[in-house]
Amino acid sequence: MENTSQKNINNEDQSMSQDTTEKSKVILESKKANVYYGDMHAIKNVNIKMRENSVTAFIGPSGCGKSTFLRTFNRMNDYIDIFRKEGEFYINGKEIYQKDVKVEELRKTVGMVFQKPNPFPKSIYENVAFGLRIQGIKNKSVLDEAVEKSLKQAAIWDEVKDNLKKSALALSGGQQQRICIARALAVEPKVLLMDEPASALDPISTAKIEELIYQLKENYTIVIVTHNMQQAGRVSDRTAFFYIGELIEFGKTKNIFTNPKEELTERYITGRFG
Amino acid sequence: MNNSQINQIKDKAFQYFGIFCTLIGIVLLVIFIGSILIDGLGRIDWNFLTSLPSRKAEKAGILTAWSGSLWIFGLTAIFAIPLGVSAGVYLEEYGKKNWFSNLLEINISNLAGVPSVIYGILGLEIFVRTFKFGGSLLAGSFTLALLILPIIIVATREAVKAVPHSIREAAYGMGASKWQTTYTQVLPAAGGGISTGIILALSRAIGETAPLIIIGALAYVPFVPTSPLDEFTVLPMQIFNWTSRPDHAFVVNAAAGIILLLGITFLLNGIAVYFRNKWQKKVKW
Ligand SMILES: Nc1ncnc2c1ncn2[C@@H]1O[C@H](COP(=O)(O)OP(=O)(O)OP(=O)(O)O)[C@@H](O)[C@H]1O
Ligand SMILES: [Mg+2]
């Protein structure tokens, strides 16, 4: 099971639908993924492929396992004692739960933005420079450059450029979240996992973050969990609908929203659920 | 009288009782500090601070005592801080949570309540006799370090526990190792609480007499210690020694010594409060 090779993945590389990202490389993939918290079966036999430079939205009712599944891809569930997984999870063709995978290295490739903004109680600059600092980069001009670039990417440079020494905690929630995004971008990951990044934000901050996701797509593979159907519709290329741990439907966002194949999906996106 | 009236009376009664209790504490403290200031303040001068002890009260100074206290303070800090903080961080961040860690936790909390004399006996047996340090600064500060270790460990654990989990997640999510997360984020965020705990523990150590008497610190030391292996005395012992003399002039000396000791303790507490406030302002979740 550990030996699933690149070859194997390429063979299965025919996708279920046709969109602009169809021909691009599969970056994230799970095979027969199952996740348990103790006896609780949180993810049930999920197979999914997400391609390079695409945005995938995870939707579904609360508690259906979106966060759980998202966090298996940067192994953030490892810290939960009762967490257990079966099946395989690939990033760029590499099974990430194999023994030779260093989680620290993995997380430099797979960045994460959390639901609640969680900047460090340090200056804006130090927040964004953190990822590079822990990689041992000390050169001031390298750090300066990376900080500026990431803050610009995260669309918050203009708001903070004169106050880089200010504590990140003194910013508004929306600004904090963009600082967190900048922090994740600074180490130039390949993949960005975003767990409801805009759920705590006002419409203006939300719009900024959506705009940001749209631009980041050029260089990153993005997975975003959201409860906001319009948001999923606006930012994502593909949408995955989860229901009680199962992946019910996965396809082009346009199709999912206009012409879902499953009745459950339709009922969920139209708000007739219960 | 209906229920709400009774409740109001109870309320008032308790309020007055509370004020009364608070006043007792304050009044006693004011009387105590006032009488000591009256007795001793006039005695404190440069000569007093820089003179060796003497059989004549007017000549006797407190140099050996406060320099001994300073030595003890420094050495105890050097031994207790790294040990206590590391142990606290280990228990909270690294140690697995199981029955053994629960047992440890309960025991450490209990240790914080063990009478200091017991630590003195332990120190006497281990440091003075087994390691043959004699009644030296080294033996004294090791003993006091043991005494305040539980306080520092508990304070460190509390402070580390108070750091929100989301901060650790953020660091892990950036590819930080456990140690990097602890060192670069958790410890600085917990720094206020930890340093407050340390300073309060150290100010307790400075005021201790019993364990030092037991390990054989001397009340009369006619020289300033110059190495950790020297014999020593400390402020509380010098004060105790002076108060037990019949000559009133020595009681005045004792009062002056108490003022000095109080001053140092207040200063340390002040620093602790300052640190806490500064950190709290910086680290607000
Ligand atoms: N640490 C944990 N320990 C035990 N059970 C957990 C843990 N985290 C999540 N679960 C359970 O796993 C299931 C999926 O949770 P998850 O957080 O992935 O849902 P979600 O789809 O992200 O929900 P939401 O939209 O509310 O964020 C839930 O039933 C939840 O109770
Ligand atoms: Mg969630």
In angstroms, the Cα distances linking B259 to A166, B40, B50 are 43, 7, 16
Answer whether residue A273 shows pLDDT above 90.
no
Closest CA to A174 of A196, A194, A197: A197
Q: Is the pLDDT reported for residue B137 higher than 90?
A: yes
pLDDT for B136: 92
Nearest to B234 by CA among B246, B219, B249, B248: B219
- Asked if residue A128 has pLDDT above 50, the reply is yes
Tell me: pLDDT of A15 over 70.
Answer: no
Q: Which amino acid is at B32?
A: F
What ranges in chain A are assigned the alpha helix state H? 6-11, 66-72, 103-109, 124-134, 140-153, 157-160, 173-185, 203-216, 229-235, 253-258, 263-269
A134–B180 CB contact, under 8 Å:
yes
A184 interaction partners in chain B (CB closer than 8 Å): 173-174
Q: Which of B174, B178, B181 to mutate to test the interface with A (most CBs of A within 10 A)?
A: B174
Residue whose CA is at the smallest distance from ligand 1 atom 6: A37
Measuring from atom 26 of ligand 1, which residue has the nearest CA?
A62
Instruction: State residue B194's pLDDT score.
Output: 92
Check CB contact of A42 with chain B, cutoff 8 Å: no
| Domain A2-117+190-269: homologous superfamily in CATH | P-loop containing nucleotide triphosphate hydrolases (3.40.50.300)
Domain segments of chain B as ranges: 3-43, 47-282
| Residue A107 alpha carbon to ligand 1 centre in Å | 21
Whether A172 contacts A182, CB under 8 Å = no
Helix, strand, coil abundance in chain A, percent, nearest 5:
40, 25, 35
Predicted confidence band of residue A84 (pLDDT cuts 50, 70, 90): very high
Residue whose tokens read 């003194």 = A170
Span A56-77, mean pLDDT?
Answer: 95
Closest CA to A178 of A132, A131, A212: A212
Quickly tell me which residue has 């967190």 as its tokens: A180
Q: Which residues does a 6 A CB cutoff place in the pocket of ligand 1?
A: A 37, 40, 42, 60, 62-68, 80, 82
- Please state which of the ranges A178-192, A232-246, B171-185, B243-257 shows the lowest mean pLDDT: B243-257
Amino acid A88: pLDDT: 95
pLDDT of residue A13: 36
Residue B262 CA to residue A135 CA, distance in Å, equals 48
Of A62, A91, A60, residue with least CA distance to A74: A91
Q: How far apart are CA A32 and CA B98, in angstroms?
A: 33
Write down the ipTM of this complex. 0.86
Q: At what angle do helices B235-243 and B248-282 cross, to 10 degrees?
A: 150
Which of A73, A79, A78 lies closest to A94, judged by CA?
A: A73
Q: Are A239 and A73 in contact (CB under 8 A)?
A: no
Question: pLDDT class for B285, splitting at 50, 70, 90?
Answer: low
**Percent of chain A having pLDDT more than 70?**
91
Contacts of B164 in chain A (CB under 8 A): 118
Measure in Å the smallest separation between the Cα of B186 and chain A Cα atoms. Answer: 10
For residue A22, the model assigns a pLDDT of 60
Integer angstrom CA distances of residue B110 from B140, B149, B198: 22, 12, 18
Give distance in angstroms: CA of A62 to centre of ligand 1. 8
The residues, ordered by sequence, that sit 6+ positions from A57 with a Cβ below 8 Å of its Cβ are A223, A224, A225, A226, A231, A232, A235, A236, A238, A239, A240, A253
Compute the distance between CA of residue A49 and CA of residue A208 in angstroms, rounded to an integer: 28
Cα–Cα distance for residue pair A267/A249, rounded to 1 Å: 12
Residue type, B247: D
* Tokens coding A26: 């599969």
Give the Cα separation of B156 and B147 in Å (integer).
16
With cut-offs at 50, 70 and 90, classify the pLDDT of residue A225: very high
Q: Which-ligand-closest: CA of A71?
A: 1
In the block, tokens 């407050």 appear at B196
Q: Is the pLDDT of residue A21 over 60?
A: no
**Gap from B51 CA to chain A (nearest CA, Å):** 49
Position A155 scores a pLDDT of 86
Tens digit of pLDDT for each residue in B43-102? Answer: 888 888 888 888 888 888 889 999 999 999 999 999 999 999 999 999 998 888 888 888
Distances (CA, A) of A49 to A15, A33, A237, B161: 8, 12, 13, 39
Residue A61 Cα: closest atom of ligand 1: 25
Mean pLDDT of chain B: 90
The domain ranges of chain A are 2-117+190-269
DSSP labels, A56-94: EEEE-STTSSHHHHHHHTTTGGGG-TTEEEEEEEEETTE
**DSSP structure class, residue A19:** -
* Interval B157-173: pLDDT, tens: 999 999 999 999 999 99
End-to-end CA distance of chain A: 39
Q: What is the least distance, in Å, from the CA of B58 to any CA of chain A?
A: 55
Please, what CATH class does the domain formed by B47-282 belong to? mainly alpha
